[in-house]
Structure 1
Amino acid sequence: MKHVRIVGVPEHFNLPWHLAIEEGAFEERGIVLEWTDIPEGTGRMAQLLADHETDLAIILTEGIVKSISEGNPSMIVQEYVGSPLLWGIHVASQRHFKSVSELKNTKAAISRFGSGSHLMAFVNAQKEGWDTSRLQFEVIDNLEGAVAALAHGTADYFMWEHFTTKPLVDSGVFRRLGDCPTPWPCFVIAANKHFLARNENVLRHVLQCINLYTKEFKSIPSINRTLANRYEQKLEDIDTWLSLTEWSQKQLTEETFKSVQQTLLNLHLVATEKNFTDMVWG
């Protein structure tokens, strides 16, 4: 049996992986897939890839493009979720903010530098016409850290996936002022080059397996109820999320890659332009 380490966020997007593992789909192909949840998100997963502490990661597209551009010895091996990610823009419910425009020149909570919450703060600022050089950040590690930071006033707003934070909005911990969707497919599968150089055939089996699961995922009977129960979400929220989410079984296109890279260049989040073939496998 070949052991393969993989990391991802503990969110509903990744249920296809858990179902495939639980049903022995990888083991049928001679692979023991060892999944680890990483609640800190993209910045932490990029570091795990760079340090060879994981073989694969289900990671935000913009985050891994930035990380590889800065020297992370990894490659994008496939799209995973082909639809945009809807980033909610949240404040503590007791704060005075009533609109996104009021957040100009305030402090954003981010899980870590290089994370999705960090990068999307720039994307949102550009969308709002703010001076991105004046953005301020408070590192909070994870969602629990964001709750504390916003409540105590050490940060003013926090961007995180809309439906993951919906229970906190419903319970009155957060108030959502708006949403900022990614202008590209949101999640990709990335592999560190050390693993990739030695295990191309193993990787192909992993991709074939997960692609079968994601292709059929929405047709699984009562999958909305399974998701709602497993991730403690309201059924109507899961139904809305499923209607917006499309899993992908194809490679990231050069056009999409260039769009992500150009956005990062324009925001001065990466310093140099990289070749598509140096960052995207196959």
Structure 2
Amino acid sequence: MKTVKIIGVPEHFNFPWHLAMEEGAFEERGIDLQWTDVPEGTGKMCQMLQEGSADLAIILTEGIVKSVVEGNPVKIVQKYIESPLLWGIHVGAKSKYKDIKDLKNTKAAISRYGSGSHLMAYVHAQNNQWNTQKLEFEVIHNLDGAVTALTQGTADYFMWEHFTTKPLVDQGVFRRIGDCPTPWPCFVIAATDQFLMAHRNTLGHILEVINLYTEEFKSIPSIDRNLSNAYEQKLEDIKEWLSITAWSQSQLHANTLLEVQEKLKALGLIEKVVPKEKILY
């Protein structure tokens, strides 16, 4: 049995992996897939891949591209989610800010530098023609940290996946004042160069299994109810999320990768655009 360490966020996007593991689909191929939830998100996962404490990650496209350009020995092996990620823009329930324009020159809560919440704050600022040089950040590590920061006023707004944060909006902890979709497919599967060199066949088996599950995922009977229960989300929210989410079974297109790199470079988040071979497996 080959042990493979895989990491991802504890969110509904990754339910196909847990389903496949529960049903023994990887074990049937001789693979002991060991999943670790990383609530801190993409910045932390990039660090874990670099340190070698994980072999594979389900990770945000823009975050892993930035990390690889900066020297992380990792490759994108496949797209995972084809559709954009819908980033909700949140303020504390008692915040004085009512509108997106009110957030100009205020402080954003981010899980860590290089994370999606950090990078998308730049995309959002550019969308609103704000000066991205003036962005300020408060590192809050995870969702609990964001609740504390927005409630106590150490940060002014927080960008996180719309449906993951919706229970906090429903409970009156956050107010959502807008959304910002990613301009590209949001999640990819990434692997360390070390893993790719040593276990190419194992990776092939893992991708075959997960692609079978994601192809059929939406047609599984009562999948919406299962997701609702597993992630403590309202059924109508899960149905809406499923309707706008598409999984992928193919590699990230070179043109899309170039678009991501050019956007990050224009925002001053990477210094150079590298050839696709440096990033794509």
Scaled to the shorter chain, the TM-score interval is over 0.9
Question: Match of 1:196, as an amino acid?
Answer: L
Q: CA RMSD in A?
A: 0.4
The C-alpha deviation readout for 1:145-201, integer Å capped at 9, x for no partner, is 000000000000000000000000011000001000000000000001011101111
C-alpha separation in 2, matches of 1:278 and 1:153: 41
Question: Match of 1:69, as an amino acid?
Answer: V
Question: Match of 1:260, as an amino acid?
Answer: V
* Structure 1 segments of 4+ aligned residues over 3 angstroms from their partners: none
Task: Determine the structure 2 residue equivalent to 1:61.
Answer: 61
C-alpha separation in 2, matches of 1:268 and 1:199: 36
Task: Determine the structure 2 residue equivalent to 1:267.
Answer: 267
Task: Determine the structure 2 residue equivalent to 1:215.
Answer: 215
Question: Match of 1:199, as an amino acid?
Answer: H
Query: Structure 1 length normalisation: TM-score?
Result: 0.99
C-alpha separation in 2, matches of 1:24 and 1:99: 48
Alpha-carbon offset, residue 140 of structure 1? 0.2
**SS of alignment partner, residue 251 of structure 1:** coil
Aligned length: 281
Query: Structure 2 length normalisation: TM-score?
Result: 1.00
Alpha-carbon offset, residue 272 of structure 1? 1.1
Task: Determine the structure 2 residue equivalent to 1:137.
Answer: 137
The C-alpha deviation readout for 1:79-114, integer Å capped at 9, x for no partner, is 000000000000001011110110000000000000
Question: Match of 1:145, as an amino acid?
Answer: G
Alpha-carbon offset, residue 273 of structure 1? 1.1
Pair 1:50-2:50 in alignment: yes
Task: Determine the structure 2 residue equivalent to 1:72.
Answer: 72
Alpha-carbon offset, residue 233 of structure 1? 0.4
The C-alpha deviation readout for 1:257-278, integer Å capped at 9, x for no partner, is 0110010000010001100011
Task: Determine the structure 2 residue equivalent to 1:115.
Answer: 115
C-alpha separation in 2, matches of 1:100 and 1:197: 46
C-alpha separation in 2, matches of 1:227 and 1:62: 26
Question: Match of 2:232, as an amino acid?
Answer: E
Unaligned runs of 5+ residues in structure 1 are: none
Unaligned runs of 5+ residues in structure 2 are: none
Question: Match of 1:141, as an amino acid?
Answer: H
Pair 1:12-2:22 in alignment: no
**SS of alignment partner, residue 167 of structure 1:** helix
Task: Determine the structure 2 residue equivalent to 1:126.
Answer: 126
**SS of alignment partner, residue 7 of structure 2:** strand
C-alpha separation in 2, matches of 1:278 and 1:100: 37
**SS of alignment partner, residue 188 of structure 2:** strand
**SS of alignment partner, residue 252 of structure 1:** coil
Task: Determine the structure 1 residue equivalent to 2:249.
Answer: 249
**SS of alignment partner, residue 34 of structure 1:** strand
C-alpha separation in 2, matches of 1:48 and 1:197: 18
C-alpha separation in 2, matches of 1:197 and 1:99: 50
